[in-house]
Homo-oligomer: A and B are copies of this chain.
Amino acid sequence: MLIIDALQYVNWTRALFEEARAGGVNAIHVTITYWENTSEALANIAEWERRFEEHSDIIAPVRKASDILVAQNNDKIGIIFGFQNCSPIEDDLSKVATLHKQGVRIMQLTYNNQTLLATGCYEDRDSGVTRMGREVIKEMNRVGMVIDMSHSAELSTLQAIEISERPIAITHANPSRWHDALRNKSDDVLKALGQSGGMLGFSMYPFHLNNGPECTLDDFCGMIMDTADLIGVDRIGIGSDLCQNWGYETLEWMRSGKWTFKPDYGEGNAQNPEWPKQPDWFESSKDFGNIANGLIAKGMSQDDVEKVMGLNWYRFFESSFEPQ
């Protein structure tokens, strides 16, 4: 079974690559940046190029979707580069193509806060896609870079779906009808996403789960079945949002960047600022099998389980990563 995880942010070690391979993972969309500018993004990409050399027996870069199948055949994990924010293009439209050439295939238009392109899900008001945002979407469409609205606000997301000529993605979020959180998505957004041929990746980050770390596998898989009913079983996949092997200082940086002097607690709070505990059925990349089994137990067909676990993302990437 092809397994693709459409979002992870891991402090990678050899052992963690091996764990992911043992878990049967064939491709991972890895986070290259949160707040980094062009120069910092290029440094992070260069670090990955060194990883590809050092661990060439276990990971390989994904530039086009078929690289995932090649990786699978060679028992390697395909690595897809993505930005969680548009900061790496700074204010320069031409950098979309530059960074696509560096291998970047997915970019969020916002990360929680407002950007030059759109509004993030943590702002009070949402002005939608901006003048520059429209130009960037057009350019991402042209070069073959997926627009990801996981951390964006409602109107911005609806407009991105409408403006983009190619289907977009929400790589890691859940329906807010199941668990109401700023990061989860309304039925309106999910339906528009599905109707446009876009993709939703289900998150296992505890703040996005009903009952947090206590969320049951049965509850989670039920939510997947319900979402399949709402937007179609071809429009959903996994985007675990797995964060592994980071200290608190990284979480604080993810939340507060350089935009505030006092800490922003994001989905946590001052009493509970730390990384949340993962649910026991998804502690790491070794546990993807639990989700597949959970879906089977809920009565999903084997064919549909394979779609959700990886095939849908594969087909989506197949039509997304090439220039127009």
Contact = CB atoms under 8 A, between A and B. Distances in A.
Interface in A20-69: 35, 37
Given A114-B127, A123-B127, A130-B123, A135 B261 contact: yes
A91 B125 CA distance: 19
Given A126-B127, A127-B126, A132 B93 contact: no
Interface in A108-164: 113-116, 119, 122-128, 130-132, 135, 139, 155
Given A114-B116, A116-B259, A128 B135 contact: no
Contact of A260 (B35, B124, B135): B135
A94 B125 contact: no
A257 interface: yes
Contacts of A94: 258, 261
Interface residues of A, number: 32
A274 interface: no
B132 A128 contact: no
A90 interface: yes
Interface in A251-284: 257-261, 264
B122 A131 contact: yes
Nearest to A133: B114
A91 B128 contact: no
Given A93-B258, A113-B116, A258-B93, A128 B131 contact: no
A187 interface: no
Number of copies of chain A assembled together: 2
- Which residue, A37, A125, A139, has most C-beta atoms of chain B within 10 A? A125
A92 interface: yes
B35 A91 contact: yes
Contact of A113 (B119, B122, B125, B131): B131
A119 B129 CA distance: 12
Nearest to A115: B116
Nearest to A261: B93
A35 B93 CA distance: 13
B131 A93 contact: no
Contact of A131 (B116, B123, B127): B123
B128 A93 contact: no
A87 interface: yes
25 contacts: A35-B91, A90-B90, A91-B259, A92-B258, A92-B259, A93-B260, A94-B258, A94-B261, A113-B116, A113-B130, A113-B131, A114-B114, A114-B116, A114-B127, A114-B132, A122-B131, A123-B131, A125-B127, A125-B128, A126-B127, A127-B127, A131-B259, A132-B259, A135-B259, A135-B260
Top 4 nearest A-B pairs (CB, nearest first) are A127-B127, A132-B259, A125-B127, A92-B258
